Structure 1
Amino acid sequence: MNSANLNIRTDKDVKEQAEQIFAELGLNMTIAINLFLRTAIRKRGIPFDLLLDAPNETTIAAMEEGKRLLNDPAAPKFSDMEDLKAALDS
């Protein structure tokens, strides 16, 4: 096997946490990184989904309610935090 060195920088805590997980799996850092690289080659891309955080159902419902209230002329509107706090306290 023709090998080459690969030097990377990462946060110390990330490295330690990853090493602990890999050790539990019976792997070391070198084997784990090689698994990642070989899988990326085989899949011809990153071997896991890269996703933006998607809102959960509760957040989606709150966003929809906010839009509904914004467009409802009967819904109370507040121009500053003091007015909002006063309304919540009453």
Structure 2
Amino acid sequence: MMNVSVRMDNTTKKEFEKFCKDVGLSISGAFNLFAKKVIREHRIPFEISSEDPFYSEENQKHLLKNIEDMKNGINCAEHELIEV
């Protein structure tokens, strides 16, 4: 076995400890379950998303197009923010 350190704020740690206790797990046990599921499924076992419009698919396409335009010598110093 090897030790792994995780940093989290005190509130999150206390709430996580309470949850783990309520379901009969230790924090270590919970992280081991998470790690084994990640390994088994080869993915993070829950959806990760951002409400920030910067990460929207439409804005990412827009940014990639601007990068391509700049590579081709087209002046793209400014662009409109795409609101989602």
RMSD between aligned alpha carbons?
Answer: 1.4
**Aligned ranges for residues 1-90 of structure 1 at < 5 Å?**
3-53=1-51
Three-state SS of the structure 1 residue aligned to 2:40 is helix
Runs of 4 or more consecutive aligned structure 1 residues displaced over 3 Å after TM superposition: none
Relative to the length of structure 1, the TM-score reads 0.54
Q: For 2:51 and 2:26, locate their aligned partners in 1 and report how far apart those are by CA, in whole Å.
A: 30
1:52 CA drift (Å): 2.4
User: For 1:31-63, what per-residue CA distance to the aligned partner results, in whole angstroms no more than 9, with x for missing partners?
Assistant: 000001111111101111112239xxxxxxxxx
Query: Sequence identity, in percent?
Result: 31
Looking at both structures, which has the greater relative contact order when contacts are Cα pairs under 8 Å and sequence separation is at least 6? Answer: 2
Q: For 2:7 and 2:18, locate their aligned partners in 1 and report how far apart those are by CA, in whole Å.
A: 18
In the alignment, residue 3 of structure 2 is paired with which amino acid?
N
Q: Which has the larger radius of gyration?
A: 1
Three-state SS of the structure 1 residue aligned to 2:20 is helix
Q: For 2:29 and 2:20, locate their aligned partners in 1 and report how far apart those are by CA, in whole Å.
A: 9
How many residues align structurally? Answer: 52
Q: Gaps spanning 5+ residues in structure 2: where? A: 53-84
Q: For 1:20 and 1:41, locate their aligned partners in 2 and report how far apart those are by CA, in whole Å.
A: 26
In the alignment, residue 28 of structure 1 is paired with which amino acid?
S
Three-state SS of the structure 1 residue aligned to 2:34 is helix
Q: For 2:34 and 2:51, locate their aligned partners in 1 and report how far apart those are by CA, in whole Å.
A: 23
